[in-house]
Chains A and B, each alone.
Chain A
Amino acid sequence: MADEVKLPADSFEPLDKSKHLDSEKIAAPNLTFMQDAWRRLKKNKSAIVAMIILIIFFVLAFGSAFFSPHNPNAVNPQFANLPPKWPGININGINGTLVQAGSRVNAYQAAGAGAGVHYWLGTDYLGRDMLSRILFGTRISLTVAIVATAVDLLIGVTFGLFSGWKGGWVDNFMQRVIEIIMSIPTLVVVVLLILILKPGMMSITLAIAFSSWTTMARLIRAQTLELKEQEYVLAAKTLGESSIKVAFKHLLPNLSSIIIIQTMFTIPSAIFFEAFLSFVGIGISAPQASLGTLLNDGQKNFQFLPYQMWYPAIVLSLIMIAFNIFADGLRDAFDPQTKE
């Protein structure tokens, strides 16, 4: 008699096959294009810091429409040119004193302000609160830049797509048009447009948009020329898709990284143009303020009341730096090939 091996009945149960199949599988979760870019962006610490700074500025600037310490346009001649004063802190520069004729004087006492009066970033020559004006100015600067970039995007992408897609003499003609526009310095175009449209927020926005779309159009055209030879475009065309549908469904998604990167580089240059024009005196007009007009006002008193220029200058520079670093980070995240 052979030994009987006693095996429990459940040994003969078939194993769960799906587990074994899984153990062979080597795969990361599927990522969409955006998730992939975000994953790479997250690793870039400076870009993330820049992004956070930008978010803070956006929240402060646009939030100031609802709550700002003072009315940015309220004139208060009694409290004109008061230096910054933080409650309870006694450090020169933020304690409400300033150097006048070689000695430090308490400007708040001189102006007859009570103990409860304090302006965090001081006041300007009309006694308007600098902090509120900077928040208000940042809001206008950012609005102008973003709207201008959006219009720029619309014109540039449409022009580039159309030019690249059509090809032939249409493309040739459209490229000549771009070359002509590009051979006039952008600022001259902006100035001419502003003269025609009359200075103001609207005309500045349009002028910046109309004069800076050429770079975007060129990039989009070059990429479209490449993309339209791809098999999936041929397939779409063979299946009878209309040109417009091909453009929206197949070309635009593939162009999105270029568009996003270029947009992020256009915004700081739009901010710069707005500040530049307002600084020169053909930009935003009073009583509205932008970072450029604040700098212009501050520059007049820079020798004696440097804080009036310091703070707008710091805010403008910080925004520009943050945008540039963030744009660099985005470029690396969206386009890993270019990164070495």
Chain B
Amino acid sequence: MAKYLLKRIFYLLLTLFIVITVTFFLMKLLPGTPLQNQQKLSPAQQHLILKQYGLTKPVWQQYLIYVGGVFQGNFGTSFQFSDQPVSYLISSRIGPSLLLGIQAMILGVIPGILVGALGAIKKNTWVDTTTTIVSILGISIPSFVLAVLLQYFVGLKLHLLPIADWGGFAYTVLPTIALAASPFADTARFTRTEMVDVLNSDYIELATAKGLSKWGVIYHHALRNSLIPVVTIIGPLAVNIMTGSMVIENIFSIPGIGEQFVKSILTNDYPTIMAVTIVYSVMLMVVLLITDIVYGIIDPRIRISGKSN
């Protein structure tokens, strides 16, 4: 296990390094400087500003400084907000994003598992059909459409919850629902398929034959065994939520990193774009690592057969 963990962490660092390198050089390919009103500035002033951003050095030096900085949590200075370190921009905005992401994950996965399991238990009845329709809708309707509809009906027409902005818990409800819809549908579909497989297996038949009650079989044998593979989709769900957060935070005016990312793209704020890319990649890699470890712990069959690939 320790050896496996070390290997994974080594790959994680290697991947991180590649991500940093690739994004750095991609950004260097793009035209664009921190200079605003370039026509009005004299060459000396321009040089001074560029020097302040460290852009007068040769590219390889800039690269080394950047990589060194990233590992110390320094992502450079934002082009858009003068004198604002990018690390400050991100650290002050990551809270709302994490909160929303975790809430959406919980709201998506737990009901998803229950609904998926219910669909499998009541296979080929109206319950199954309803849950299938709901999950198809959840997968198909884009989160941003759902978000606007929620704003319109729940916020504007019914006055139940705030339409946008960021305050207490009430402000998180609508964005969380909008973000959670697609993970919910994914989980429900996946759980249903797994559960149908498990319910057809021999050990379920044996448990039933030995006289266990229906719900005893479902809870102790079927649900537990079908939950193991569900762990594997946590990674893709995290991607899903990160993607969604960029537009959901925008629609609901939430001061998170997704909203910052979109803003930075529209204003060509390269240091911030790079930093958010790295932050997103780290988050995803950590989630993938944790799910792999958890998967190994809860499913002994995988530990034995060796986990590489």
* Residues B15 and A320 in contact, CB atoms below 8 Å apart: no
* Residues A183 and B250 in contact, CB atoms below 8 Å apart: no
Q: Note all chain A residues with C-beta closer than 8 A to B246.
A: 187, 280
* Residues B242 and A275 in contact, CB atoms below 8 Å apart: no
Closest Cβ–Cβ distance, residue A240 to chain B (whole Å)? 32
Closest Cβ–Cβ distance, residue B78 to chain A (whole Å)? 16
* Residues A185 and B284 in contact, CB atoms below 8 Å apart: yes
Binds B, one of A63-71, A188-196, A244-252: A188-196
A201 sits at the interface (CB 8 A): no
* Residues A317 and B140 in contact, CB atoms below 8 Å apart: yes
Closest Cβ–Cβ distance, residue B57 to chain A (whole Å)? 23
Q: In this complex, what residue of B is CB-closest to A317?
A: B141
- For chain B, the count of residues having a C-beta within 8 Å of the partner chain is 44
Q: Using a CB–CB distance below 8 Å, which chain B residues touch chain A?
A: 11, 15, 18-19, 23, 26, 29-30, 136-137, 139-142, 144-145, 148-149, 152, 156, 196-197, 200, 239, 242-243, 246-247, 250-251, 261-262, 265-266, 268, 273, 276-277, 280-281, 284-285, 288, 309
A307 sits at the interface (CB 8 A): no
Q: Using a CB–CB distance below 8 Å, which chain A residues touch chain B?
A: 175-176, 179-180, 183-188, 191-192, 195-196, 268, 272, 275-276, 279-282, 295, 299, 302-303, 306, 309, 313, 316-317, 320-321, 323-325, 328, 340
Q: Tell me whether chain A's interface is mostly helix, strand or loop, or mixed.
A: helix
Q: Note all chain B residues with C-beta closer than 8 A to A323.
A: 140
Q: Tell me whether chain B's interface is mostly helix, strand or loop, or mixed.
A: helix
* Residues A175 and B309 in contact, CB atoms below 8 Å apart: yes
* Residues B26 and A276 in contact, CB atoms below 8 Å apart: no
Q: Note all chain B residues with C-beta closer than 8 A to A268.
A: 140
Given A184-B280, A185-B243, A306-B152, residue A276 in contact with residue B142 (CB < 8 A): yes
Assembly CA distance A239 to B251 (angstroms): 62
A-B contact count (CB 8 A): 103
Chain B CB within 10 A, most for which of A175, A180, A275, A313: A180
Partner of B277, one of A192, A275, A276: A192
Partner of A303, one of B152, B197, B243, B285: B152
* Residues B145 and A316 in contact, CB atoms below 8 Å apart: yes
* Residues B247 and A183 in contact, CB atoms below 8 Å apart: no
Assembly CA distance A325 to B133 (angstroms): 10
* Residues A281 and B242 in contact, CB atoms below 8 Å apart: no
Assembly CA distance A276 to B284 (angstroms): 20
Chain B CB within 10 A, most for which of A180, A188, A192, A321: A188
* Residues B145 and A186 in contact, CB atoms below 8 Å apart: no
Closest Cβ–Cβ distance, residue A194 to chain B (whole Å)? 8
Partner of A299, one of B137, B148, B196: B148
5 A/B residue pairs, CB under 8 Å, sorted by A: A179-B15, A186-B239, A186-B243, A195-B30, A317-B145
Assembly CA distance A191 to B243 (angstroms): 11
* Residues A191 and B265 in contact, CB atoms below 8 Å apart: yes
* Residues A185 and B142 in contact, CB atoms below 8 Å apart: no
Partner of B26, one of A186, A192, A299: A192
Q: Note all chain A residues with C-beta closer than 8 A to B144.
A: 276, 279, 295
Which 9 A/B pairs are nearest by Cβ-Cβ distance? Answer: A320-B140, A321-B140, A187-B243, A313-B145, A184-B281, A183-B285, A180-B15, A317-B141, A185-B239
